[in-house]
Structure 1
Amino acid sequence: MAAALMVLDPATLTVAFVLLSAVLGTLLIFSWILSPGVSALAWWGSAFLLIGIAIASANLGQGQPSLLVLVTANALGMLAYGVLYGGCRIFNGRSAPIAGSLAGVVIWTCAFPFIYDSQGYRLMLASLLTGGYAMLSAWELGRHQVERLASQRVVVVLVLGLALFNFSRGMLGFSWVSVPWIAAFARRWSSEMALFLVIFTPTLAFMFLSMAKERLKFEYKQAALVDPLTSVPNRRAFLQNAAKLLGQLGDKPASCLLFDLDNFKAINDSYGHDAGDRILTVFGQVLAGHLPKRTFGRLGGEEFAAVLPMSAHEAAALADKIRHAFSAAGKAALGGQAEVTVSAGCATGARIEATALLQKADSALYRAKRSGRNIVIAA
């Protein structure tokens, strides 16, 4: 029994929480050093360190903390939540809200002279600010997520729970609760509060690390499926997407468009490889502007392809539209110094594999090249 009481002693749990926050914050920052592309880890790690410092400064001293210590410790707590929110924004590729992260500190510092003698009002304001930041963090991760990550959905639930916990504490500031373990959360610090944070904090830190790992895995997968020069799907991704589309269509017709930039070697020789790369990028942009996502890709060199759920006539008309658009965009990219054209072959079929459809389109493209280039020929 004595050992159990020792474990639940507020001072013991406070030390445990402060050490745990320091370890977790350092771990997150170290993970950022190893993976600098996920800079949100540095923000989250800083938030864990700040909350640990805030709790330590307010609760590890002798006797009741002074008003200066209270205002400083709570300001650090507000800053920790603000930094946590900033990390969530950065994780989604949005700007760092420096002013927003500091807003809680400013509000708390300005309001403290008017509420310093009321523990209830201090609790309500601190809970509203921290709960607000937690709610904004959950909104940011849920509403503005770049891609669907399983761990990110878990973090949204955890941070929403943190917001609810803080808002509930704020309500205790002006209501009387007779249940001892609930009333304990209305105090500035208690064993129940420390125990909750000792359990919750590592869970949240673990899920932040899981989010970062899942993001890196997603980016590596994307890098393996995207052409680095033109930012369109590469051959592997195109064939995967085409096979999936053809399987979904069943007996309905699908058309394959195969494009090959005309006289591309001459462009490289006359204007340099940088100009050639620019022309390839321009054509990728033209395709992206005319075709749905995951229907086209770069097969290699100056050859691009697309598979679309449409008839031969519709596909040929679309290819001709792309041909005209690229001619204008390519000429503008070279400053109007040269004619930039593309030839296209079109093949249509139903219940056919992607490679077989691509071979038919290649035959039509060969005819287009032999017929003088800058034309569209259907198989």
Structure 2
Amino acid sequence: MPDPMTVASGVSAAGALVSAWQLRRRALRAEAEIQLLQAELAAERHAASHDPLTGLPNRRAFYRLAAALLTGAGGNPLIAVVLDLDDFKQVNDRYGHAAGDQVLISVAQRLAAFAGDNLVARLGGDEFAGLLVSPTVDRRWIEHASRRLCDALAAPIPLGSRTVQVTASVGLAPVHGPTQLAEALCRADAAMYQAKSVAAARPARQLVDTPHLAER
């Protein structure tokens, strides 16, 4: 006949194991719930600070991140960039808003590639901005950078069975100090509109639409 003390001891040990197992399950469940909440919070923060179409920082995030960059620039020259697509309405009117979205995504990717590790953002619509570290604020360098950026943005963009080519007006202006971002963006915006008015004075611009070679 089993010793009652031994049986009681076995039951107690088994109960302790079950309790430990249950506590472990609860701890794992709580840890998973915390991780899920943290992921949801991170996603909400990202959504609040980024453009949902292009994934770039939005207007509010751009000004916040730019302010942080300006205070920690370490004396490096910074250039404010503003760009706006020319006659972007033609894309939406001719191909639809889905095609227009694809053009905006392509422009965002090209701007980000041009800027490298520098800050770029979509301010809204077809307007983008950036803050670039530059080796100099020489006018020649700014003009050269403007041409390079315009050329990069003007490369053909695939849209299904066709490609389109759009152009952008670009304005660049040096930022002279941590508190001068707004003033620099205004000057870059003015330079961008000047470039747009010069382009508008030329012969009428048409959206370049080319079938893929496979269709020819």
TM normalised by structure 1 equals 0.45
SS in 2 for 1:263: coil
**Distance across 1 between alignment mates of 2:105 and 2:77:** 30
Q: Which residue matches 2:213?
A: none
Residue 293 of structure 1: how far off its partner (Å): 4.1
Is the contact made by 1:256 and 1:346 (CA closer than 8 Å) also made in structure 2? yes
Residue 207 of structure 1: how far off its partner (Å): 2.6
Residue correspondences, number? 189
Output the amino acid matched with 2:188.
A
Residue 342 of structure 1: how far off its partner (Å): 0.6
Give the counterpart of 1:344 among 170, 176, 180.
170
Q: Provide the alpha-carbon RMSD of the alignment.
A: 2.6
SS in 2 for 1:372: helix
1:13 aligns with 2:16: yes
Q: Which residue matches 2:191?
A: 364
1:323 aligns with 2:150: yes
Equivalences for 1:129-208 in 2 at 5 Å? Answer: 198=23, 200-208=24-32
Output the amino acid matched with 1:340.
V
**Quick one: structure 1 residues 206 and 257, their matched pair in 2 at CA, closer, same or farther if it must change by over 3 Å?**
same
**Quick one: structure 1 residues 206 and 268, their matched pair in 2 at CA, closer, same or farther if it must change by over 3 Å?**
same
Q: Deviations over 1:226-249 (max 9, x none)?
A: 111111111111111111111112
**Quick one: structure 1 residues 358 and 201, their matched pair in 2 at CA, closer, same or farther if it must change by over 3 Å?**
same
Residue 286 of structure 1: how far off its partner (Å): 0.6
**Distance across 1 between alignment mates of 2:26 and 2:142:** 55
Give the counterpart of 2:50 among 210, 214, 226.
226
**Quick one: structure 1 residues 213 and 316, their matched pair in 2 at CA, closer, same or farther if it must change by over 3 Å?**
farther
Give the counterpart of 2:113 among 252, 271, 289.
289
Give the counterpart of 1:308 among 113, 123, 132.
132
Residue 333 of structure 1: how far off its partner (Å): 3.6
Is the contact made by 1:267 and 1:276 (CA closer than 8 Å) also made in structure 2? yes
**Is the strand fraction higher in 1 or 2?**
2
Higher RCO (C-alpha under 8 Å, 6+ residues apart): 2
**Quick one: structure 1 residues 219 and 315, their matched pair in 2 at CA, closer, same or farther if it must change by over 3 Å?**
farther
Q: Deviations over 1:145-199 (max 9, x none)?
A: xxxxxxxxxxxxxxxxxxxxxxxxxxxxxxxxxxxxxxxxxxxxxxxxxxxxx4x
TM normalised by structure 2 equals 0.77
Give the counterpart of 2:60 among 218, 229, 236.
236
Q: Deviations over 1:277-320 (max 9, x none)?
A: 11111101111222234600000111001101213344443332
Is the contact made by 1:225 and 1:233 (CA closer than 8 Å) also made in structure 2? yes
**Quick one: structure 1 residues 232 and 367, their matched pair in 2 at CA, closer, same or farther if it must change by over 3 Å?**
same
Which structure's CA Rg is the greater one? 1
Q: Deviations over 1:319-344 (max 9, x none)?
A: 322221221133x44724x5410110
SS in 1 for 2:154: helix
**Quick one: structure 1 residues 360 and 250, their matched pair in 2 at CA, closer, same or farther if it must change by over 3 Å?**
farther
**Distance across 2 between alignment mates of 1:301 and 1:230:** 11
Is the contact made by 2:85 and 2:167 (CA closer than 8 Å) also made in structure 1? yes
Output the amino acid matched with 2:60.
R
SS in 1 for 2:199: coil
**Distance across 2 between alignment mates of 1:314 and 1:16:** 71
Output the amino acid matched with 2:113.
G
Q: Which residue matches 2:35?
A: 211
Segments of 5+ residues of structure 2 without an aligned counterpart are 201-216
SS in 1 for 2:130: strand
Q: Which residue matches 2:89?
A: 265
Residue 213 of structure 1: how far off its partner (Å): 1.4
Q: Which runs of 4+ in 1 moved over 6 A?
A: none
**Is the helix fraction higher in 1 or 2?**
1
